[in-house]
Amino acid sequence: MAAVDEKAAAATASSTPPAVIKQGWIKKKAEHLRDWRPRYFILRENGEFIGYRKEPSTEAELSNILNNFTVKNCEIILTDRPKKYTFSIRGLHLTTVVERTFHAESEEERKSWVDAIENVKRKLEDGETVEADEANDPTNPFSKRGEKKSRKGKSKVTFENFEFLKVLGKGTFGKVILCREKATNQLYAMKILKKEVIIKKDEVEHTMTEKRVLQRTDHPFLLTLKYSFTTVDRLCLVTEYVNGGELYFHLSREHQFSEDRTKFYGAEIVCAIHYLHEKAIIYRDLKLENLLLDKDGHIKIADFGLCKEEIRFGNTTKTFCGTPEYLAPEVLDDHDYGQAVDWWGLGIVMYEMMVGKLPFYNQNPEVMFGNILVEDVRFPRNVNISSEARDLLLGLLVKDPVKRLGGGRSDAQEIKAHLFFESIDWDALENKKIPPPFRPQVLSDTDTRYFDIEFTRESVELTPPDQDDPSEFATITEVAESFSQFSFNDGMGSVGGAA
């Protein structure tokens, strides 16, 4: 929703403009500041919502466009915050979802603008005023809705396929947004990553690994990928939406889980990790934040960026990666390591669930790493843990990966056979026939009570790509081939390269 370039402005001025539906002064909230700026807006029947610094009276002034929006297929939100008589228009600008906010002087004025926008939007949706030139205009972000076609003739997914509902989380690389696919009304979680940040922080390979692992896997206790696609400045992973919250969230509330509850979660994790190992993938990042619950209370492992592919029994890697509190001794000691690294992670998270804290944690990282390398596992006196649970944890947290429970050729079978898991029917577990010990209290599919309110109350607005810094754009363009195999459509195969 930036100003159009001079060439486009000249073309607009030289041709007969579509009919004006409404025009007048209205205040627009600044995009990066908190002030409100008066703008003279003209709403045309083709959906153009064009703003000027002053009321235009000549053709030259008409071409001096300050804001160039479209209301086609937009969403209008009425609010009285931060000021009364406010409304927002949410929609796409090129390939990014943006939201712009306006303030009227009275309820009547707001209603007049909103009614006019709704009428134009409805007529455009009904196809009453769409012109041939507009339908083929590549600068119009809403000219082609729904699934697009790639050069190979397969469906290509874009932002336009989705309605964006809530922010679920955010981090260094981007956001996770709850969205609804328009064609099916199905809810998904969309992880939207900034190419520029990924490139600068040398995370291209991890990002591509996550996409490949998600694409290759299909297991009841692993998050599943529906689509992946790219825009000029972002990478998007569309996965199933899991709204039961992270185990970290639940444990922080309850402090400890019972042995039976820990056994259930531990068993589902064992099944998922065993499945990955059978596909020659090690996970390398088991931690409570990556262990989600679905609406029924089953485990879903998420975040596959640190996975390593082509690691079978006997194969090793040496990359130093992971979360400090959960690092295995062989990783810290800079030794070659293999599949057994994941069983150390299992031991850490199961200890954390039953005891309520990490086994080797210290605020000083150097002390903590020393504890991981040389200290024995200790159990607090005030925590009652069965002998079977102690034996399992001590077996999983053996420093030597060769001697670790699950560290041999039989891998997960050794863990499944342990006395602690004697009551588990593994076939029934994988088929989700064992009722979970805890069911999240979600009231609806869009209930986000188990997500941090710091994120869910945020606007779902995405910052448009910076068009003013050609050097940044050039950097992204130079490495575009890094993401050429990113796009994916579940059930339909690859849907083409970068958008």
Residues with catalytic roles: 285
pLDDT at 467: 42
Tell me the average pLDDT across 455-484: 52
Domains of the chain, each with CATH number or no CATH: 6-135 (2.30.29.30), 148-242+452-489 (3.30.200.20), 247-430 (1.10.510.10)
Tokens of 384: 């009652």
How large a percentage of the chain has pLDDT more than 70?
Answer: 79
Burial class (CB in 10 A: 0-12, 13-18, 19+), 207: buried
The answer to whether the bond into 82 is cis (omega within 30° of 0) is yes
Q: Given this model, what pLDDT does residue 256 score?
A: 94
d(CA 120, CA 129): 9
Is 341 in contact with 284 (CB distance < 8 Å)? Answer: yes
Phi, psi of 267 (to 5 degrees): -65, -40
Q: What are phi and psi of 49, to 5 degrees?
A: -125, 95
Query: pLDDT-based confidence at 159, cuts 50/70/90?
Result: confident
Looking at residue 260, its pLDDT comes to 96
Backbone angles phi, psi at 285, to 5 degrees: -145, 40
Residue 204 has pLDDT above 70, yes or no: yes
46 Cβ contact partners less than 8 Å away, ≥ 6 residues apart: 18, 124, 129, 130, 131, 134
pLDDT for 459:
63
Q: Which of 486, 475, 450, 344 is nearest to 403 (CA)?
A: 344
Among 45, 492, 491, 483, which Cα is nearest to 236's?
483
How far apart, in Å, are the Cα atoms of 354 and each of 254, 349, 415, 480, 481? Answer: 11, 9, 18, 46, 46
pTM of the model: 0.66
Instruction: Specify the DSSP class assigned to residue 113.
Output: H
The tokens of 264 are what? Answer: 């259930």
Q: What is the pLDDT of residue 396?
A: 97
Of 202-211, 300-309, 449-458, the range with the highest mean pLDDT is 300-309
Q: Which of the two residues, 163 and 354, has the higher pLDDT score?
A: 354
| CB atoms near residue 434 (< 10 Å) | 17
- When pLDDT is averaged across residues 102-128 and rounded to a whole number, the result is 86
Per-position DSSP letters for 24-37, written without gaps between them: EEEEEE-SSSS-EE
pLDDT for res 462: 59
- For residues 34-52, give the mean pLDDT: 87
Q: Are 160 and 144 in contact (CB under 8 A)?
A: yes
Lowest mean pLDDT among 56-65, 241-250, 329-338, 444-453: 444-453
Hey, what amino acid is at 42? I
β strands within 232-274, DSSP E: 234-240
User: What does the pLDDT read at residue 220?
Assistant: 95
- For residue 48 the two structure tokens come to 């153009």
Q: What's at 23, amino acid-wise?
A: Q
Residues 251 and 265: their CA atoms lie apart, in Å, by 12
- Looking only at the bridges linking them, the beta strands covering 75-79 and 86-93 are antiparallel
Q: Which of 241, 210, 215 is nearest to 227 (CA)?
A: 215
* pLDDT tens sequence across 314-343: 888 888 888 889 999 999 888 899 999 999
Q: What is the mean pLDDT of the chain?
A: 80
Q: What angle do CA 63, 129, 97 make, to 5 degrees?
A: 65
Residue 189 near residue 241, CB atoms below 8 Å: yes
pLDDT at 311 exceeding the cut of 70: yes
pLDDT, tens only, 381-422? 888 999 999 999 999 999 999 999 999 999 999 999 999 999
Whether the predicted pLDDT of 277 surpasses 90: yes
pLDDT in the model for residue 2: 39
Q: What is the mean pLDDT of residues 466-491?
A: 51
- Cα distances from 475 to residues 2, 95, 205, 482, 485, in angstroms, run 22, 19, 17, 12, 19
